[in-house]
Amino acid sequence: MSQQDLTRLRLKGVVTCSFARSEATNLGLYRTTTKFPGELNKGEAYLFISKGGNQVLFMFKTVVLEVDVQHRRGDGTNTRGVIDSRRLRLDGGTWHPYMLQNYANEVGIDLIGFKRFEQVHSRMMATKRAKS
Amino acid sequence: MEKWQFAPEMVDSGKTNEVIVAALKAKFGKGISTTKLAEWRATTMDRMATNEKSGRKKMRADKRKYIRKCLIAGLSSYATQQACAQEFGEGCGYDTIMAVQKEVAGDAEAEAAKAEEAIVTVEIPDEVREDEPVESTALAPTVPPPNGSLTDLKAVQAWMKKINAEELTLTDNGDLSMLVRHKFNLGEAE
């Protein structure tokens, strides 16, 4: 995926939670915590990481969809909130914070303010060389 | 109705032994021993006491539930007492309200702790973050221009270098403003 195709997003919060629960439940729990950064706006995302560390999930702003008459709610409203997310299942091993931008790029996102692993690594190597 | 059903009912209704024996004799042609009546009476008293006790117990539990509901709804202890009096015909003690209040607060705390435990915030290391760009216009309005004038380009360039500014915003008459933007390239000008 080229850099132009990526959607630029700002990461609003990173949390680990059990993926045995649904995304809606996890989001509800996140809302009750003291470190909840606030609701998502357009162009923002949360990152949920599984307890085992082998799954990362980018959650975006809840989309409101209109539903037809047959699927209206009891109160007569015809809109539904739909959680939009992208999940990566890592094949072996666990996630690493240095790889955040790489994971995001894989699901078509460019995280604002984050470096790719290659950049972090080269910077670390340069610092190491300068020290020695 | 049989004799063994009729007699306990009369005991329950609070009739004396003489009245019961007379009634039984009239209905069934035979009385009953006072020992048997005393046994029935004892059983009835026990049952009534138990019923009253369990009724009271149930009411207390209901009342507690109601107090809890009131407190969660945000009512004050006085308002809760009033609401309780209206609902059950009798108020409730201040101690009970305090105890329930403690339970409610404990529940909220436990729930929050549970959520905190379930969702753990992750701190991302600074190495991954890109270097923050320096806000170039932040310094310009706070620093006075050299000699109160911005007409001498060389002086302005030297001043900008001194205050580490890359961009300057000024109006045509030399006042600082956000309306007209002029960019000075230090390298090219020299």
| H or E element, residue A80 | strand A79-82
- DSSP assignment, residue B131? P
The β-bridge partners of A117 are none
How many whole angstroms separate alpha carbon B86 and alpha carbon B153? 84
Spatial contact of B138 and B165, defined as CB atoms under 8 Å apart:
no
Residues of B with CB under 8 A from a CB of A: 111-112, 115-116, 118-125, 127-130
Amino acid at A105: N
Please write the tens of the pLDDT for every residue from B59-99.
888 888 899 888 888 888 888 888 888 888 888 888 888 88
**Predicted pLDDT at B71:** 86
The β-bridge partners of A9 are A111
Which pLDDT band holds residue B182 (cuts at 50, 70, 90)? very low
Instruction: Kindly identify which residue of chain A lies nearest to residue B113, measuring between CA atoms.
Output: A33
Contact B120 A17 (CB under 8 A): yes
**Predicted pLDDT at A100:** 92
Which pLDDT band holds residue A95 (cuts at 50, 70, 90)? very high
User: Quick check: helix, strand or coil at residue A55?
Assistant: strand
Question: Mean per-residue pLDDT for A46-55?
Answer: 92
Please write the tens of the pLDDT for every residue from A11-39.
999 999 999 889 999 999 898 888 889 89
Chain A residues lying within 8 Å of B129, measured CB to CB: 113-115
Chain A residues lying within 8 Å of B120, measured CB to CB: 15-17
Please write the tens of the pLDDT for every residue from B116-172.
778 888 888 888 888 765 444 444 444 555 555 556 677 777 777 776 666 665 545
Answer yes or no: is pLDDT of A58 > 90. Answer: yes
For residues B43 and A126, which has the higher predicted lDDT (pLDDT)? A126
Instruction: Give the distance from CA A48 to its chain's centroid.
Output: 6
**Predicted pLDDT at A45:** 93
Please measure the distance between the N-terminal and C-terminal CA atoms of chain B and give it in whole angstroms: 123
Spatial contact of A16 and A118, defined as CB atoms under 8 Å apart:
no
Residues in CB range of B87: below 8 A, 6 or more apart = B66
Longest dimension (CA), chain B: 135
Q: Enter the pTM of the model.
A: 0.49
Which pLDDT band holds residue A47 (cuts at 50, 70, 90)? very high
How many whole angstroms separate alpha carbon B168 and alpha carbon B179? 11
Q: Smallest Cβ distance to A115: which of B115, B123, B128? A: B128
Which pLDDT band holds residue A1 (cuts at 50, 70, 90)? low
Answer yes or no: is pLDDT of A71 > 80. Answer: no
Long-range CB contacts (< 8 A, 24+ apart) of A84-92?
A: A84/A59, A84/A60, A85/A23, A85/A57, A85/A58, A85/A59, A85/A60, A86/A57, A86/A58, A86/A60, A87/A55, A87/A56, A87/A57, A87/A58, A88/A55, A88/A56, A88/A57, A89/A54, A89/A55, A90/A53, A90/A54, A90/A55, A90/A56, A92/A54
Q: What is the mean pLDDT of chain A?
A: 86
ipTM: 0.80
Question: Mean per-residue pLDDT for B44-54?
Answer: 77
Contact A100 B124 (CB under 8 A): yes
Spatial contact of A83 and A61, defined as CB atoms under 8 Å apart:
no
Which of B128, B129, B130 best probes binding to A when mutated, by most A CB atoms within 10 angstroms?
B128
**Predicted pLDDT at A101:** 92
Which pLDDT band holds residue A74 (cuts at 50, 70, 90)? low
User: Quick check: helix, strand or coil at residue B46?
Assistant: helix
Please measure the distance between the N-terminal and C-terminal CA atoms of chain A and give it in whole angstroms: 37
